[in-house]
Structure 1
């Protein structure tokens, strides 16, 4: 019988859990034995009794790890905390390999088969397994709610006997999964929404959501489409033109949401201090890339900074603020991945070394680091 361990998250502020009763029940149906660390789901409003009701066993971390063939977590666990894991056990989580390289080295030394789920290829087959998309969707939604809570005015236009309240103007920079959800949410709250991206293909997506696209035209490098649907860094000519366009537009905005990330690189700087100074006092900027260095000059992850009368919200682990939903989506991503490789005869997942999904997420195997991007080859 395959033993699957569900760990309680140890990172400060992390409220999610890597499996919910729904997915535990599905794993049990596959024939797996599920061991959940005591209180693993507490911060996501899931009791130990709920796990037990669907067939899981509640155990200590040490007991969960030592018997596990598969270890599931949200964030990569401290290697010392899973030192009792057996050689060859699979670890599935968001491992943040470029920042937490020391952890990756330790997983390799321990013989773990570590899989960085954020490296999941963005292809049709893997859509239901993509943790970045599922968590970014919630982050984009929550970013707008955070902006609304810090903004001292209403979002929608309101016509009252005492006069009219103008609708807030919201500008979304970066139209990936998070950006699209931010546009949709701001629109639902009644704001006048505009958006921009370095990828020209996103214009139609922006328009489809009822927002106004703000794009640099007739400048080399407008396509901006990298591998896997990610944006790439732009030419100096494009960056200059983009900065000029944003400067003129941002001065008229009440709310700005920035979402731009380049995997494995520091977040690109989109808004300078000088541009912030042109905004009206009381405006709000939410920087969803604050943990990766920030799109906004002066943004600090996990803090609200006020500059020139503008509140800059440095987002940190935004999905954790929606722990129940974020846990449900993350856990389904993990289940969908594992179940797609589940072999009924051997009652365990078998990961073919030549499978593009396995190649995409596997970072350590056989005591070595095996991912091209960590070996400087990709």
Structure 2
């Protein structure tokens, strides 16, 4: 069983899908590991560290020659995997809805594409969940980046020269990233409030010492919604939420937006009119900017990897937020991959054999066809 890791080629991608730690673990399972030269440079991992762990360090796509499994952060162009074995498994993030043409290309190439972002939100798959591990880091980084841009202190400071008031931070969307954003802002000493459409998050917000801000007049989602994600709300709820946010956002110094709906453009949470109510010098970090519709992500007018100023308010967001913490992001992502494959490792066969529940959830292509039910139900585009 040969496992290959190529250098990431997507613009701005500094992460890598394996570390010396996971290389050693895969070798302990009986696999051989090949990695492309320079694959770990963005995550501060030298080729020598991989070689010391037992990997063969090879130039260019030669690392994928005769590979049975290819690991990646962002799915590589199938042309780079021409030397892999027929039916090779490729475990990576694919953006299956947004990059349907690439999924079709994987099917045509006879590769078995495994979309890590389709990992089901079930207890036994928690250690395999790349969205959670990367979102955790993204929520932290969003607050740190916003604090740096803000230009004022976060905690209350009482000095002989006077008192500095604590920053007021409002987190919109309380999934993994939102919860980490709340915790980070609290650790920095800010006064934190948060909102979500899922009623179950109220207690989570309070447990972190933040103030929950919820629409009370219209019912939201009871529990966690489908798969732990929020879903689109009724027009009545959206209207009530917009009114609530408008009243609250005008008093905030920092706003962090984190809302995503799988397979859809990021929902618009903050409009230009709402931005205009905030005081000059305030900051908004749009964690969903990369999933926007061209006019912004959660925030109207946000642009990936740029600071946009509207009405004196600075708006920012990264196309790849977790990638700004490449070393930690790579370590967590690579452990997710190892946990995934090792959980199904057949010692006698020397390869992973996926079960139906998780295998059918993440498998996009097999035997030359697109086989994932979620993609079969969605129109090709």
TM over 0.5: yes
Partners in 2 of 1:30 and 1:45 — Cα distance? 26
Q: Which residue of 2 aligns with 1:361?
A: 362
Matching of residue 371 in structure 1 with residue 363 in structure 2: no
Q: Which residue of 1 aligns with 2:341?
A: 338
CA drift of 1:101 comes to 1.1
Matching of residue 312 in structure 1 with residue 311 in structure 2: no
Partners in 1 of 2:225 and 2:194 — Cα distance? 19
Count of aligned positions: 375
Contact 2:198/2:223 (CA < 8 Å) preserved in 1? yes
Partners in 2 of 1:67 and 1:201 — Cα distance? 48
Aligned to 2:260, the other structure's residue is in SS state coil
Q: Which residue of 2 aligns with 1:207?
A: 206
Range that drifts further, 163-172 or 313-322 = 313-322
Contact 1:220/1:235 (CA < 8 Å) preserved in 2? no
TM-score, normalising length from structure 2?
0.97
Contact 1:3/1:35 (CA < 8 Å) preserved in 2? yes
Contiguous gaps of at least 5 residues in structure 1 = none
Deviations 1:27-75 (A, max 9, x none): 0100100001001001100001101111100012332212100000000
**Cα RMSD after superposing both structures:** 1.2
Partners in 2 of 1:351 and 1:372 — Cα distance? 17
Q: Which residue of 1 aligns with 2:31?
A: 32
Contact 2:199/2:220 (CA < 8 Å) preserved in 1? no
Partners in 1 of 2:169 and 2:150 — Cα distance? 11
Deviations 1:90-110 (A, max 9, x none): 000011111111111110000
Contact 1:225/1:232 (CA < 8 Å) preserved in 2? no
TM-score, normalising length from structure 1?
0.97
Residues 202-281 of structure 1 aligned to structure 2 (within 5 Å)? 202-223=201-222, 225-281=224-280
Aligned to 1:115, the other structure's residue is in SS state strand
Partners in 1 of 2:40 and 2:76 — Cα distance? 16
Matching of residue 95 in structure 1 with residue 94 in structure 2: yes
Contact 2:156/2:163 (CA < 8 Å) preserved in 1? yes
Partners in 2 of 1:344 and 1:83 — Cα distance? 28
Deviations 1:188-219 (A, max 9, x none): 00000000000000000000000000000131
Q: Which residue of 1 aligns with 2:140?
A: 141
Contact 1:105/1:369 (CA < 8 Å) preserved in 2? yes
Aligned to 2:4, the other structure's residue is in SS state strand
Say if 1:335 and 1:290 are closer, same or farther in 2 by CA, change over 3 A: same
